[in-house]
Amino acid sequence: MSTPLLGLDLNALSRFCEGLGEKRFRATQLFRWIHQRGASEFSQMSDLAMSLRDKLAGMAHISALPVVSIQRSADGTIKWLFDVGDGNLIETVYIPETDRGTLCVSSQAGCAVGCRFCSTGHQGFSRNLETSEIVAQLWYAEHALRRELGRSDRVITNVVMMGMGEPLQNYDRLLPALKIMLDDHAYGLSRRRVTVSTSGVVPMIERLSQDLPVALAVSLHAPSDALRDQLVPLNRKYPIDELLSACAAYQRFAPRDFITFEYCMLEGVNDTPAHARELLELMRRHAGSGLSAKLNLIPFNPFEASGLKRSSQAQVQAFAKILLDAGIVTTVRKTRGDDIDAACGQLAGDVKDRTDVGQRMASQRLGMIGGIPVVQGEAS
C-alpha cells in the first residue's frame, strides 16, 4: 500500500526513511521538499539519489485532495471545496488581512456534536479526516497561493482549526498535523499562530496542554448549563464549570495569556443583558482560579433548519458593553467572505452529488468556517 507522506510528521517520516535503509537526515530533506517547496513528484527532488526517488515513487505519494470548486469573495477571501471521497466534501477558507493570512482548516467530514446553531452539526457526522487530509488543506492552499501571487515567502501565517468538525474528537490525527504546522522544516508557525477551536472536550483539552499547547478557543455560547445543554449537547457530558477549570489548567502550559471564548449571538436565546450579566459572573468566578478570558461575540449566520435568528447589532453592542464596562476584553467578529458563503456556519455551495451526504449538503446548509484572527475585534 502506498503511504501518503502528507500524513507523516518529521519523526514518522524519519522512521519511514530508516525503514528504507536511509539516514534520518534524508527525511528532513524530503520533508522540506514536500512542505516548504510544495513538491508532489519525487522526480523534482534533485538532491535525493535517483535510487531513493525510485524507491519512494513505488511506495509513497504526495497527493492534493481533488478540488470541487474555488470561490473568491470581493474581500479577498477564498474558499476551496475538497472531495474526500464517498460523497464527503470539506471546506477550507483563506482570509487575507494586511498583516497576516489565516487559513481555516477542517478536521472532520461533518460533526457529531450537533450544536443547534451550526449547519455542520445538523448535517451529522460522516468521518474523521486523516492527518494527511488535514495537512493537505494547508499544503495545497499555501503553495497554490504562492504560485498565484508569485511569492516565495510564506503566505499563510495563521491556522485556525475552525472549519468543519470538532478537532478534539479527532485528536490522534490532529496532533501530528499540528506538529507539521509548527515544524521549522515545514511551515514553521509558532504556537500562538495555530488555534484549536473546541466545543469543550475536556479530557482532550488536558491532553493538548501536555502534548502541544497551541492557542485555544472554546465555543461557549451560553452562560449556564441549562442553556448550554440545549445549544451544545456536549455540555451534558462536560458541564461549564468543568470546562472552565480545564481551561484555567491549560493556561499554565499555554503560550497565550488568555483563552478566547466564542459566543454566537442568537436573538432572544442567549443575547439579553441578563445573559451578559450571568456570563460576567461566570467569568469572574473562574478568574479567581487563574482563568484569563477574552470574549469573541460572533454574529450568527442563519440557516433555515436551525429556526434561529441573528441578534440585532444593537443587542450585540449592548451585550458587549456590559462585559467591556466590567473590564472583560470583548470583541465582535467581523464576518468575512459573506458573498461566497464562507462565513461561519455557511453552506458549502450549490453542490450536487449523487450520494446521500452530497444530497444533504446541497439541500441543507453546510456548517463552516470561522476564524478568530479573521476577526480583529471591533470592541465597542
Q: Which residue has the cell 439541500?
A: 363
Nearest distance, CB of residue 16 and ligand SF4, angstroms = 32
The active-site residue, picked from 17, 22, 91, 166, is: 91
Rounded-to-integer distance, Cα 268 and Cα 319, Å? 12
Report the residue from 33, 80, 94, 117 that binds ligand SAH according to the rule CB under 6 A.
117
194-198/158-161 β-pairing: parallel
Residue (8 or 114) nearer to ligand SAH, CB: 114
Identify which range of 58-66, 151-159, 294-302, 324-332 contacts ligand SAH by CB under 6 A.
Answer: 294-302
Asked whether 107 and 174 are in contact (CB, 8 A), the reply is: yes
Nearest distance, CB of residue 343 and ligand SF4, angstroms = 14
Sheet holding 158-161, edge to edge: 67-72, 78-83, 89-96, 101-104, 158-161, 194-198, 215-219, 259-265, 293-299, 329-332
Nearest distance, CB of residue 140 and ligand SAH, angstroms = 20
Nearest distance, CB of residue 344 and ligand SAH, angstroms = 3
Asked whether 256 and 288 are in contact (CB, 8 A), the reply is: no
Beta strands (DSSP E) in the chain are 3-4, 60-61, 67-72, 78-83, 89-96, 101-104, 108-110, 125-128, 158-161, 194-198, 215-219, 259-265, 293-299, 329-332
Annotated catalytic residue 166: no
Please report, as a single letter, which amino acid is at residue 376.
Q
Rounded-to-integer distance, Cα 87 and Cα 84, Å? 7
Query: Containing H/E element for 277?
Result: helix 273-287
Asked whether 333 and 374 are in contact (CB, 8 A), the reply is: yes
* Binding partner at 114 among ligand SF4, ligand SAH, none, C-beta below 5 to 8 Å by kind: ligand SF4
The active-site residue, picked from 104, 111, 115, 344, is: 344
Binding mask 102-141 for ligand SF4 (x = CB under 6 A): ---------x-xxx--x-xx--------------------
Rounded-to-integer distance, Cα 66 and Cα 83, Å? 5
298-327 residues in contact with ligand SAH (CB under 6 A) are 298, 300-301
Binding mask 205-244 for ligand SF4 (x = CB under 6 A): --------------x-------------------------
Rounded-to-integer distance, Cα 17 and Cα 52, Å? 9
C-alpha cell of residue 152: 516565495
Identify which range of 178-186, 268-276, 295-303, 315-323 contacts ligand SAH by CB under 6 A.
Answer: 295-303
Report the residue from 62, 81, 118, 129 that binds ligand SAH according to the rule CB under 6 A.
118
144-203 residues in contact with ligand SF4 (CB under 6 A) are 165-166, 199
Please report, as a single letter, which amino acid is at residue 346.
Q
Does the protein bind ligand SF4 through residue 367 (CB under 6 A)? Answer: yes
259-288 residues in contact with ligand SF4 (CB under 6 A) are none
Annotated catalytic residue 115: no
Q: Contact positions toward ligand SF4, by CB under 6 A? A: 111, 113-115, 118, 120-121, 165-166, 199, 219, 367
Q: What is the contact surface with ligand SAH in residues (CB under 6 A)?
A: 117-118, 162, 166, 197-199, 219, 262, 264, 298, 300-301, 344-345, 367, 370
Residue numbers annotated as active site: 91, 344
